[in-house]
Structure 1
């Protein structure tokens, strides 16, 4: 089992910015779009938002993730990225626990259908498909997911 140290940081931290840049390159390779326009660092600097960085045992930044408030007890997961096996689940688990502490009832997210690795990851971890929301409405390339944080099946 991998051990990671996950901490709340500002996305402008150089290590965080480097991971976000790497994520944009990977997304462009997979989907044809970097996703850069879908993330505004200011969205995770407001009350009810969070950006985290995961470090391995050597202190190297190896993953990140965030959520931003959407209103009505819902937050949107953003900028999930993992360089190494196990860090994606560690970051997602951390974000879910933090979202519960913040009082959120549900987490939502969007990924691209062509990003089958991400689609399978979220489905494996109890996220279910929902109608596309917000700017993703009407975009056939997008797939949106949601997870009920207080649902009995989702309790650890």
Structure 2
């Protein structure tokens, strides 16, 4: 997989974001689109990436600043079992931007995502920001090396 930074309004980004939304709707009954603002990943120390397999967009992920040392992982999606590769690339980019921690939220009902993040050494964190008090969300943190 080749991973490139691009604008979330790029046609390839929109294509893979659409598949992510369809997958989430089927898995948890919500597309998750209301939790993503493309302008959040156009600011300083943020990023949006699309991953390709043979020039076909099959993955995406975004980094949105929360504070000086904390970045939020948004809209992560990968096909063909390439999620670990994408996550590693996003974490490396977060480190290169000067972040020491990655936070994220997913739906409790998204068992596949919960298992994936735990497998990659993400630890449960008290629900933060707009996820505070929401029983359907579970938040995670990883301290970057």
- Coarse TM-score class (shorter-chain normalised): over 0.9
- The Cα of 1:40 is off from its aligned counterpart by 0.5
Q: Distance in 1 between matches of 2:130 and 2:28?
A: 17
TM-score normalised by L of structure 1: 0.91
Partner of 2:70: 74
Q: Over aligned residues, Cα RMSD in angstroms?
A: 0.7
Q: Distance in 2 between matches of 1:17 and 1:9?
A: 11
Q: How does 1:101-112 map to 2 (within 5 A)?
A: 101-112=96-107
1:17 is aligned to 2:14: yes
- The Cα of 1:84 is off from its aligned counterpart by 1.3
Contact 2:127 2:138 (C-alpha < 8 Å) held by counterparts: yes
Partner of 1:91: 86
Q: Distance in 2 between matches of 1:34 and 1:95?
A: 22
TM-score normalised by L of structure 2: 0.97
- The Cα of 1:26 is off from its aligned counterpart by 1.1
Residues 91-134 of structure 1 show CA distances to partners (whole Å, capped at 9, x for unaligned) of 11011001101000000000011100000000000100010000
Partner of 2:114: 119
Partner of 1:45: 42
- The Cα of 1:72 is off from its aligned counterpart by 3.2
Q: Distance in 2 between matches of 1:24 and 1:5?
A: 22
Q: Which runs of 5+ in 2 are unaligned?
A: none
Name segments (4+ residues, structure 1) moved above 3 Å.
none
